[in-house]
Structures are given as C-alpha cells and as structure tokens.
Amino acid sequence: MLFRKEVREVRFLSPLQGFNEVVQRVEFREDPLTGRWSRINLERAKRVRQAMGESPLDLLRESAKGCFFCPENLEDSTPKLPPEFGEERMRRGEATLFPNLFPFAEFHAVVVLSREHLLTVRDFHSRMLEDALRLSFEYFERVKGVEPRAVYAMLNWNHLPSAAASIVHPHFQLLVDRTPTFWLEKVLEGGKRYRRRTGRNFWSDLLREERRRGERWIGEGERIGWLAAFAPQGQNEVWAVFKEASCFGEV
C-alpha cells in the first residue's frame, strides 16, 4: 500500500517575525483509496480565528424554546412514518426516530438521541449512543423490507453549531437510497479497484499497514481499529475501521 506525499516549502516575510523570512512546509497527500489530494500545514493551527468556535452555553440553552425535538413538542411537531414501517415513530431507550420533515433522500429519517436539549461531549454515555445506533440499524433493516433496492445507507451526525448543526438538540441524520452519494461511490470504486489489482481487501490492508507504521495509529478493540486519516478531508479526522463487518447489518 502506497502512502504518497509531496512536501513543498513556502517562503515569505512575516509580520509576526519582524518581517524576517520564514519557511513553512506544506504537505500534499494522496488518499490511497480514492486518489483525492489533501493539503496539510501544521502552522495553520496557530492562526487567528475571528469566528466563534463555540456558541456560548446560555445562547444554546435559549434555543430550547420551541425546539421540535424536545419531549414536550416532539409528538405534535415531527412527522410520522408511513404504515408500511409498522409504527408511527420508532423508539429505543431515550432515542426516537421519525421521518425528516424536509427529506434529502428516498428514505431520510432523524434520530433524536436524548430528552435533554443541550448535551456537551462529557454528557454523552455509551448506553445513549448504543440505543441510538441500534435504532438506526433497525431502521435500515426496515427500509430494506420496504424497498429492497435502497441499499446505500448513511448515518450522519453534526453536533452543535460549531459542527454545522442547524438544530442544537442532539440528533442523527439517516439517509438510505438506491444510488450512492458522490463520495461513497468513489470509496466503493476505490475498494473494487484495489481488490482487482491486489486480490485483497483495502480496509484489512489499511489496518495492517497503519498498525505497523504507528504514525497515525490510535488503538484497536476486538472489532474496530482507530486511526487518524492519512489524507484528511476535515479537521481532526479520525477513522473507525471495522475488522469484519462490511455493512451496517453486520455490525
């Protein structure tokens, strides 16, 4: 497996250094699966940010007024599943699932994780996440029974405005369609090309190689390996790679 990168130096006279010459290194990295290139400059982590990284907690708490996902509003303000799903809304523990009011896929659902409107990272616990994930997987299975051709499932989670969430109340977005998104299609095509070229599974080889190198390796459990992305598409990008499961139904 090839981890291709190029390093280029950028020189300029910096006002932060009395207009003396500084040199910064920019790494260009190619994703070994899709061929997409990323650019990394560690110095950018030091730059001044005028935009708020986090909204003040008091403002976030204020957003609970009239929130559709809070328990007192959820029953009257959120859509219901059609009859073929067997129930109007699906539930497990504190998690509740219902259709998205403005769908972006043939099957588009929302999973509200908690009755609480505002949760910080410290407030999430394993049972809450397990219930929400299991409920999501159950929805995927029901979709398969309703429309067998809808085989491309995605689970998305943006938490708080700093992660571009439009609603503060913690929730997943589930999308299932007959055709993959552009990026998912690239990942699937890359995996097929790798199999044709090597006769092996890309993800198994990735885990083996990253574990051996240790540069980005975080750790592993019985079923999942954790690593930082070689060619990240976003900030602080971490991958959870399943060792055996190839789809949600096998998790």
How far, in Å, CA of 228 to CA of 233, rounded? 11
What pLDDT does residue 172 have?
95
State the DSSP code for 235.
T
Q: Output the CA angle 237-241-242, nearest 5 degrees.
A: 155
The full DSSP string for 2-70 is ---EEEEEEEEEEGGGTTEEEEEEEEEEE-TTT--EEEE-GGGGGS---S-SS--HHHHHHTTTT-TTS
What pLDDT does residue 55 have?
53
CB atoms within 10 A of CB 139: 23
Burial grade of 234 (CB within 10 A; 0-12, 13-18, 19 or more)? exposed
What pLDDT does residue 49 have?
52
What pLDDT does residue 50 have?
43
Q: Output the CA angle 15-18-20, nearest 5 degrees.
A: 90
What is the pTM assigned to this prediction? 0.80
Task: Please state the φ and ψ torsions of residue 50, each to the nearest 5 degrees.
Answer: -85, -30
Where do we find the tokens 């690239």?
186
What pLDDT does residue 163 have?
65
What pLDDT does residue 58 have?
72
Query: Long-range contacts: 40-43, Cβ < 8 Å, 24+?
Result: 40/232
Taking only the tens of pLDDT, the chain with its 251 residues reads: 889 999 988 777 877 788 888 888 889 999 999 888 888 888 877 765 544 455 577 777 777 788 989 999 999 889 999 999 999 999 999 999 999 988 888 999 999 999 999 888 899 999 999 999 999 999 999 999 999 999 999 999 988 766 666 788 999 999 999 989 888 999 999 999 999 999 999 999 999 999 999 999 999 999 999 999 999 988 889 999 999 888 777 77
